Chains A and B, each alone.
Chain A
Amino acid sequence: MAKVPSVVFVLPVKGASGGANSVVQEALGLSELGVRCVVAVDAKNWGSFIDNYPELMGKAVVLRSYDSPNALAELMRDCDVAVATTNVSVAEVSVALEALSSKERAGVKLAYYVQDYEPLFYHPESEGWRIAHASYGTLKEATLFAKTKWLCDIVYLNHGIRVRKVTPSIDHGIYYPDLSLEKDYICVGAMLRVRTARRAPQRTARILQILRDTVPEKIVLQVFGSSDEELESVGIATSQGIVNRGRLKRTEVPAFMRGCDLFLDLSDFQAFGRTGLEAMASGCIPLVPALGGTDEYAIHGKNALVVDTRSDRHILDAVGMFLTLSDRERRTMQQAALETASDFSIRKAALSELRLFQELCWQDH
């Protein structure tokens, strides 16, 4: 029987972002299938990464740090498939390849797990944009794969490079609902990340303030993602009636979600919108942006609210609709959301990636 490929995910990030969570939990999923998985984190981010994923210690996934292209090349040499996960990691993998002999290079299949359309993160005149834009074509032999059709399409449309579609994952071990919870109020939660403009912190603050001023008292508003000081520093006043839960650890987010009935992700766009799906798995209805790839899982009025977040009116109309639903209708939506979320498991995602990696390794034989 053919050998199961071993994989190194090159993940030079602090962690805790949606993209990093995907990679880590899918690496765990692969390792549970018996795939030897290495997660390579650069030395600069190593400390924060370990803090963010303490559960990785003692698991079958091998965590390695690298401080130079040679060190990364060393990790890649031992694996059948090297997977870049961000535009920075593409550049690093590309440099590390130089350190491999041509034979070694032929032995490592390259892949790029496209987590987002990253040029949108940078100003188009900036160096960051140039690198992100070039990243899709940097690794000539790499196979690109992504979680949503929107990502596959946008990379193909702009770079002419085919992107394979894999299944998104969600960690049902931590994201689960508490259907026994009984409360006589509706809790609306939101993520408010002041440092990330595409996550629209000002829009989020604005909508929450409008909701606070207009909705009945039976509604509780809470946010997470930034400290009070951070909110203050960009001119967002934490105000009475809106509870700021501050920066939550990755493992604290599920409890936040479980306590919410509606979760607002008012980002400009979402390539996938992991948090929305995690909200669903927690029994909470997400409001997600129509722009991007949320249609991978969200159906407006069925399991989610999907709105053109560029317009306050659209958002407030949708929230208003949700608040007028009867308990029974809300339960119907919750049930639909839970059913949808259950279609996305780590096992399923890991299998879809494994199939891709196996195809890569077998294509020579």
Chain B
Amino acid sequence: MTTTKYGDINKKVTNQLRGWALDPEAATNRMSITISIDGQQLPPVLAKEFRSTTVGRHGSDGYCGYSIVPPLSFFDGREHRVEVSISGTGNTIYSGPFKFDDLRVGGSGANIFGVVTQINTAGVRGWVLDNDNRDKQIVVSVHIDGALRFEIAAADPSNGGPAEAAKHGFGFEFPSDLYDDREHTVAVHVSGAGAVPCLVSPAILLASADRPCVEIEVQGWRAGKLVCTGRDTAKPDGTAPSLVLAAGDKTIIPDVRRKSAAGDPQQFEYYFDLSAIKPSLLISSGASINKAKSREFLKKVPANILSACARLEIERTDRAEARASISLAYMPQEQDSFFVLVDGALQCSISTARVHPDGKLSVPLSHIVGDRRHPVELEVRFADESTQISRSPLRLNLLRGEDLVSNGSLANWTGTLPDNWNVHLDAGATLVKSRSPGFDFARVANETAEPAIFHFSQKLTVDPDESALAVVLKARSSEAASAGLRVALVGAGVALEEPQFKPVPLHRAWSVQTMRVGVPRSSNTHQVKLVIEATSPAGGWIDIAQIAAGEPGFVAGSRPHLEANSSEGGDLNAVTNGDFSNWVGPYRRAASFRASDLADGWTFRCKPASPALSIALCQGNLREITLPERGPLAYGVAIFGQIKEGYARLETRLDKYRLSLSKSLNLGFYVQCASALGFENNTAEVRYEIDHIGVIERSHEGRDGVRSYKDQRLFVIKRRVAVTRTGRHFGLDLKPDDVETLCRHARLNLDNPDREYFLSFVWTANVDAALFSVRLGPVAERPVTDAPSRYYALEDPNIAAQIDRTVGLAAWTSQAGIPVSSSRRVPEKLSVKWSWDQIHPGETTEIVIPVFNAIDETLDCLSSIGYATDRPVLVTLVDDGSTTLNRERLRRFVADVPWIKLIENEGNTGYTNAANKGMSRALSKWIVLLNSDTIVTRGWLDGLLEAAIARPDATMIGPLSNAASWQSVPDVKDAKGGWSTNPLPPGIFIEDIADDVRRFSEKAFPYVPLLNGFCTLIRREALEEVGYLDGHSFPMGYGEETDLCIRMAKAGHKLVLADHVYIYHQKSASFGEKRRSVLTKQGSKALAGKHPDVNLVDLQQSLSELNSLIGIRKALREIYRAANTNT
């Protein structure tokens, strides 16, 4: 019946060359196809696409299709000579004329090609290019209802067109005002070529229901990206709108789009990487969020968010030194520069290239302001614009920002009173020096039954110009509600002046309050008295730990803000430049000095003085091995080379104050082989390690003006720390004894400049290390992430590095999961172009498939629908309580198939109920109720609908099958008198029989009294009229379809047989033979009870006498017999 063929070409498809090819000897081998058009050889193509028509041909698995889009020049509407052959064998598949679509844009005279590939209510897509100058970007103008609406450049990626058109796609969505329930004409012209070359001009009805409703909210800057959220209110199932950001002439596509964490399924977050745009340009030109395709304006990015991309801040990281920092919210690729002005005079310019990768550039203010002794105005502008950066200008008063209070920490006492303070207490109140870990404080306890008042006062010398001082108080009270604390400044020489007290809020826990207190004018201009009045509650107490005062912006003596933070887990990192962000020395040097300054606060020492070592600033990713991401980029110090004798030591001074506040200490750092970062290392070591990490105390001594120091090791934190090429984070807890020792030393020597503490990393063998992110402080709480990362990453960098150059691995880089099927092969056809979102169910045919286990059969059925159905269909699967495993396989299979909707029942409710559940949700005119153990054949649905058109009075239509009682072909009954299942003879495939049925059918579309329920096309109106399947009488099926047929007939509807459609039925896969027999009996009994007036025997008799099937049956029997005899 079938002749031996090596392949074929599909002449109906004219926008590409499409067909199949296989080797009859080894049909699962993929053939290479050689194609030439008019003698021009095209690159060979591998025939590996799925073609359902070839399944089973010579034992093929169906993966033997090929398709190729020829070069543009052949799309000229003329006939071309096409030769298709199998490479290397000379077997010709096709040789003859072939006419491709004419894609020339007519009338322009220019060599312009283009086509509109899609037009629907969402918008228009297509491509256009000038074949004479393919680099030229063609702009198309879009005319709607005859008027020019907008122009867009054809510069998007284009799918499906010839290779030349790859970067010449265009697309737009219709402006929302067009959705007015009227028809509109849309015409796309090539701009500048006059009105003639028109790509498309159909009329399209734009219903108001289709109107896009996108809501945008610009959130601000996060992780170096501009973040906005978007939701499409018209799509309640949560389809993400496609957005771009436009600034100046640049369009930025979001590099991350994900579901918003807020839990709103409709809301998506978009991360725009604006590094292609200079900050100055961004601020001056503004930006907007647009629709991706139409570029339709959706939302302007607020100016304050844009200007926050660069920010001026003043940091006070140290008692002596204040720093100004410029923060960038993102790192621009192109350099931008800032001008720094002091009091309007240009001081310096700073390039963004100097900004640290974390977005911060920190400059000591003393470098900029010099020794000016008056308040200055600091201004930072962009160099090429007059734009100020955010928070600029700032008014600064640096050099007099000192704490005016002596012994403000109340740490020094003589006898029972704190030094430098004048204290007055009510009777019954006591003042006690107390100690909390990390700091001292004064407690005023009131043992009486009445509130007790006490005063602390101290004379301060203030600037005569200053109108007010900032006063900082750190205090707490046992009874915050009844206690009171007030502060005032009074003229020192004026005893009678009434103090203007300002209340200070008090809490049970330590809190730091800052308030502005006016300087009395009437007093001696240089001397004022600071008065603190505290009202201690009866039987309670007030604690004061810090009193500081100074000009606004002053640095409090003991940094009370830090202490306040400490109780809240603030940063007490004692390593001040642990991220190596500030670097004073040269970026790379040989370690030829005994001691070299590197980054701020870091020194390198070695003994003897000239080891063969190099030190360099380096950059690397700090990969956390418990996370799949590559980790943040950071600066570090790389040390590499040989130590023949002696040692090398990297050390950093520890902040005594922060140490003194710590109760526990953890040393955190990241270390990796420097050679892994590209630094040459000629040592041949296999294993590198840091000999030890420890803390040393340095005592400075001065005699006769000559300063010297002595180092003493306090303790070792860890010995022999392995340094690996992959790099790792260390978090080493210091022993409690060591913590106690270090903190005690730091506390005792807080104000002693001759005692310093250093963290040291010591090497004694060959060195190959890069050190990053050093931190010594209380154990940092690690954020616990319960949700695993959504990031898709290969672990092996070798693979990632060659994906681009290896054919066939492109999907390995996708940031979407690789679909994995739960069936043996993934039929490619399953990714058809329609989906539940795009198609209104009313416009299509819906297929309802109840499923109960038998998952292999179900997946075969779905695959067959995928490849055998050419018209849009929507499938509703009703999983009626399959087991977990089967449910998982079903879920996985349909996960990426947009035209299948899966409904899951909790338990097994029975076939009838499951079918009704699916059918009751259908909206289409026709519904197909299909058993899950069927395999549909090419054109099956068209055939069923053809019968429906031929017989307009039909409400139920059924096809022929191998096993469907009276609809079975060739035989109805088997030798034993049971229903025949007509097993396929060897070498004959389902599609072969379907072809034969089509060929031999009379297309009589006979009326029948009953239809087998394995596959029935049902008119929804009629179903709603007579009612759904009877779930009460036939809960598990078996009889329900006969009941429906009888009810339809009683209501005057007609049942028709589509005698040219063949659907294979694997037969009763859900239940075993035994159970099926029981169910059949139950069904017959229920049927007889429900329709006593109907004689089923008569009906079956009329079915057995269907003349129109005689021809088909005869022909098929011949074919079956011939095939069986041959084997």
Contact = CB atoms under 8 A, between A and B. Distances in A.
Interface of A: 119-125, 129, 149, 153-154, 156-158, 160, 162, 165, 197-198, 200-203, 205-206, 209-210, 232-236, 268-269, 290-291, 295, 299-302, 306-308, 310-314, 316, 321, 324-326, 328-329, 332-333
Q: Which 9 A-B pairs have the closest CB atoms?
A: A235-B728, A301-B889, A197-B796, A312-B788, A198-B796, A200-B795, A124-B802, A310-B792, A157-B807
Contacts of B499: none
A129 B806 CA distance: 12
B807 A158 contact: yes
A300 B788 contact: no
B818 A324 contact: no
A314 B805 CA distance: 27
Interface in B36-52: 46, 48
Interface string B623-649: 001111000000000000000000000
Contact of B726 (A209, A235, A306): A235
A201 B856 CA distance: 35
Given A310-B793, A321-B884, A121 B625 contact: no
Interface string B727-768: 111000000000000000000000000000000000000000
Contact of A329 (B797, B856, B884): B884
Nearest to B804: A124
B817 A311 contact: yes
B593 interface: no
Contact of A206 (B628, B728, B818): B628
Given A119-B802, A210-B788, A324 B884 contact: yes
A124 B801 contact: yes
Given A300-B821, A301-B892, A333-B885, A206 B627 contact: yes
A198 B798 contact: yes
Most buried by A among B29, B32, B856: B29
A5 B801 CA distance: 42
A210 B627 CA distance: 10
Given A232-B722, A308-B817, A313-B790, A301 B885 contact: yes
Contacts of B820: 290, 300, 306-308
Most buried by A among B728, B787, B818: B818
Interface in B67-90: none
Contacts of A209: 626
Given A119-B806, A300-B888, A313-B787, 18 more contacts: A123-B797, A201-B795, A206-B627, A234-B625, A268-B794, A300-B822, A300-B892, A301-B885, A301-B889, A302-B822, A302-B889, A308-B820, A311-B789, A313-B789, A324-B884, A325-B885, A326-B884, A329-B884
A156 B806 CA distance: 11
Nearest to A154: B808
A313 B788 contact: yes
Contact of A156 (B46, B728, B798): B46
Interface string B157-200: 00000000000000000000000000000000000000000000
A295 B824 CA distance: 7
14 contacts: A124-B798, A124-B802, A154-B808, A201-B795, A206-B625, A209-B626, A234-B726, A234-B728, A268-B795, A269-B799, A300-B888, A301-B822, A308-B820, A321-B884
B30 A197 contact: no
A324 B794 CA distance: 28
Nearest to A291: B812
Contact of A321 (B30, B805, B888): B888
A234 B729 CA distance: 11
A234 B798 contact: no
Nearest to B785: A210
A295 to B, nearest CB: 8
A268 B812 CA distance: 9
A268 B796 contact: yes
B1071 interface: no
Contacts of A149: 28
Contact of A197 (B797, B822, B823): B797
Nearest to A124: B802
A233 B888 contact: no
Contacts of B790: 311, 313
B266 interface: no
B791 interface: yes
A308 B884 CA distance: 21
A326 B885 CA distance: 9
A311 B627 contact: no
A332 B796 contact: no
Contact of B798 (A123, A300, A302): A123
Nearest to B806: A158
A20 B886 CA distance: 36
Interface string B814-846: 000110111111000000000000000000000
B201 interface: no
Contact of B884 (A165, A200, A325): A325
Contacts of B795: 197-198, 200-203, 268
Given A120-B802, A203-B795, A236-B625, A153 B889 contact: no
Nearest to B728: A235
A83 to B, nearest CB: 21
B294 to A, nearest CB: 33
A275 B404 CA distance: 74
Contacts of A269: 799, 812
A156 B48 CA distance: 12
Contacts of B28: 149, 165
Contacts of B30: 153, 156
Contacts of B823: 299
B728 A311 contact: no
A34 to B, nearest CB: 27
Given A269-B812, A301-B888, A314-B817, A234 B799 contact: no
A316 B797 contact: no
B805 A124 contact: yes
A170 B801 CA distance: 33
Most buried by A among B626, B796, B802: B796
Given A234-B726, A310-B792, A312-B788, A120 B798 contact: yes
Nearest to B627: A206
Contacts of A302: 822, 856, 885, 889
B10 interface: no
Contacts of B883: 326, 328-329, 332
Nearest to A312: B788
A162 B892 CA distance: 33
A343 to B, nearest CB: 13
A201 B805 CA distance: 25
Contacts of A300: 820-822, 888-889, 892
Given A203-B795, A299-B822, A312-B628, A153 B801 contact: no
Contacts of B724: 233-235
A121 B798 CA distance: 7
A7 B825 CA distance: 35
A158 to B, nearest CB: 5
A311 B792 contact: yes
Contacts of A233: 722, 724
Contacts of A157: 46, 807-808
Given A205-B625, A233-B724, A290-B818, A197 B798 contact: yes
B625 A268 contact: no
A235 B801 contact: no
Contacts of A325: 884-885
B808 A153 contact: yes
Nearest to A194: B726
A183 B33 CA distance: 56
